[in-house]
Chains A and B, each alone.
Chain A
């Protein structure tokens, strides 16, 4: 792929200024997403994945604030946009869907209202043509008889159906980028598979880039082109999905991969990463993973800088796996 990427996140820091102290939810994270590309953003709970997503779409609420870094989207730095300029981007060029489909749709508004308002927020069109776009978007995410569905309320839908509606809303304005924050975690496995498949198909067809946030590496394996691993708010490593899964360089990525149940390792006990995620409040300098890392040495008390061990791969570690 040539030319500048669609999205370039560069040294992003997003901190919460709470009474108890500064929570460095995102602390020096960099990655890029090309047009039509799918990036898997992976990490344990609390590693700052959602906050990275909110930073990109400009929905960070106080006491949180982006303190450093650039988010360059199609040539403009989003961290410098004012409220008016944001409205032209959010929901139209960048869309986001959330984890819990039971909570993302407004319970007291009909589906048609919720889709039509998304269209009309960005295009000066009549209700009829907005409805036509809504219908088309619902069909694209695999919802049959959209007319009937449009007149319903969210509580009349199953979880999987609601998430499809949310995806349709994200798609309706033909965005360049969709941030999907664990949209299948709350669904059962078969529905999860269907939605993954449809999402991938739709994005490929329309050339929409996708950031798929998840803690589940097995989801990323079949979906993403690139993977970016985060730990305790920090960037850990990134690279093409097959490379990372085959040959993880960072001990944390290796731990994550080993803790995924796999077919050819059946019968063997799963390996787990010992210890717990550190509190972001008391996190000092140095590699945040060193207390749980088997390769850690005294050197790890300093922060390693990001290196490029091979083309297309980036890593922040002094002692990569061989």
Chain B
């Protein structure tokens, strides 16, 4: 297990370095930030001074080297626009994004798995068909469109829910969260539903497919032949087996929900990292873009690691580190 963790750490560092290099090439390609940062009326001397101050006079490789040296000591550079460390700028916005992603994921899980089970157990019933029809809608409607419709209905027409911001927040361990106040809940409801919809549909389908396959297996028939209750057959024998792929997908999707909350955050003006990224791209704020992507990649790596550990706990046939099972 320890050897496995160390090997994973090594792989992760390699991924991070490679990723940062690619991102560097990318941000170089989108344009020269000096044009945007310096007052158009400024003279040549001023421009050269600013370029040097931001380190933009160096070659690409020199700049990357400076970045790597900084990154090794935890310094991902300063924002060109705000002149504060890019990392702290992101970490300041990250809780809002994580909270939104988390609430959306919890919604998707606690609705998706039960609905998928029902649809899988009774595929030909009206309820089963209804659930499937709903999940097809959830899959095919574009996120931004659903977001706008939600605002139209619940904010504009009915006036029930606020359409932007986080609302009132409370501090939990020094981090502001919305979901503990009524006002915060009202604010997070629509963006979370918006973000959850796609994942919900995905989980319904995944659970349904897994259930339909599992109920045909001999071990389910054998469990029934033992005289177990329906609840135990479904809740233990079926669920524990279908949970294996579901946990994997939930893990992967948690990362992507954080990364791709951008659309939802933009629609509902949710003050998270997605909005920060869009702003940074518009202003060519290179250090923030690079830092954002590195933070997201790190999150992906951590989540994947946790999923692998969970997976090995759920499926006794999987042993981390490739050690063979004992006979």
Contacts and interface: CB of A to CB of B under 8 A. Distances in A.
Interface of A: 57, 59, 86-92, 95-98, 100, 103-110, 117-118, 121-122, 153, 155-156, 166, 169
A155 B317 contact: yes
Interface string B212-236: 0000011101111111110010001
Given A107-B317, A153-B317, A59 B224 contact: yes
Contacts of B325: 155-156
28 contacts: A57-B225, A59-B225, A90-B224, A90-B226, A90-B227, A91-B225, A95-B226, A96-B225, A97-B222, A98-B221, A100-B218, A103-B217, A104-B222, A106-B222, A106-B240, A107-B317, A108-B240, A108-B244, A109-B240, A110-B316, A118-B227, A118-B228, A121-B227, A121-B229, A153-B317, A155-B317, A156-B325, A156-B327
A121 B227 CA distance: 7
Closest 10 CB pairs of A and B: A91-B227, A103-B218, A91-B226, A153-B316, A90-B227, A118-B226, A96-B225, A106-B219, A104-B222, A104-B218
A110 B236 CA distance: 12
B111 interface: no
Contacts of A155: 316-317, 325
A262 B326 CA distance: 41
Interface string B190-227: 00000000000000000000000000011101111111
B237 interface: yes
Given A106-B237, A106-B240, A106-B241, 16 more contacts: A57-B225, A59-B224, A59-B225, A88-B227, A89-B227, A90-B226, A91-B226, A104-B219, A106-B219, A107-B316, A109-B237, A117-B236, A118-B227, A121-B232, A156-B326, A156-B327
B91 interface: no
Nearest to B215: A61
Given A106-B237, A153-B317, A59 B221 contact: yes
B241 A121 contact: no
Given A106-B241, A107-B219, A108-B244, A117 B317 contact: no
Contacts of B229: 87, 121
A156 B221 CA distance: 22
B35 interface: no
B229 to A, nearest CB: 7
Contacts, number: 81
B163 to A, nearest CB: 45
Interface in B278-327: 314-317, 325-327
B179 to A, nearest CB: 33
Size bin of chain B's contact surface: 20 to 34
Contacts of B316: 107-108, 110, 153, 155
Contacts of B232: 117, 121
Contacts of B326: 156
Interface of B: 217-219, 221-229, 232, 236-237, 240-241, 244, 314-317, 325-327
- Most-contacted residue by chain A among B237, B316, B327 (CB, 10 A): B316
B224 A105 contact: no
A124 to B, nearest CB: 14
A100 B327 CA distance: 20
A78 to B, nearest CB: 13
Contacts of B219: 103-107
A108 B226 contact: no
Contacts of B225: 57, 59, 90-91, 95-96
A98 B222 contact: yes
A110 B313 CA distance: 12
Contacts of B317: 107, 153, 155
Given A155-B316, A155-B317, A156-B326, A105 B228 contact: no
Contacts of B228: 91, 117-118, 121
B225 to A, nearest CB: 4
A141 B194 CA distance: 57
B223 A106 contact: yes
Contact of A105 (B222, B240, B244, B327): B222
A121 B237 contact: no
Nearest to A105: B219
Contacts of A90: 224-227
A118 B237 CA distance: 13
A312 B209 CA distance: 50
B77 to A, nearest CB: 47
B298 to A, nearest CB: 31
Nearest to B228: A121
Contacts of A108: 240-241, 244, 314-316
Nearest to B239: A108
Contacts of A100: 218
Contacts of A109: 236-237, 240
Contacts of B240: 106, 108-109
A97 B327 CA distance: 24
Contacts of B224: 59, 90
| Residue among A100, A109, A166 with most chain B CB within 10 A | A109
Contacts of A156: 325-327
A217 B323 CA distance: 44
Give the one of B223, B240, B317 with max A CB within 10 A.
B223
A191 to B, nearest CB: 16
Contacts of B227: 86-92, 118, 121-122
Contacts of A107: 219, 241, 315-317
Given A107-B241, A108-B315, A109-B237, A169 B221 contact: no
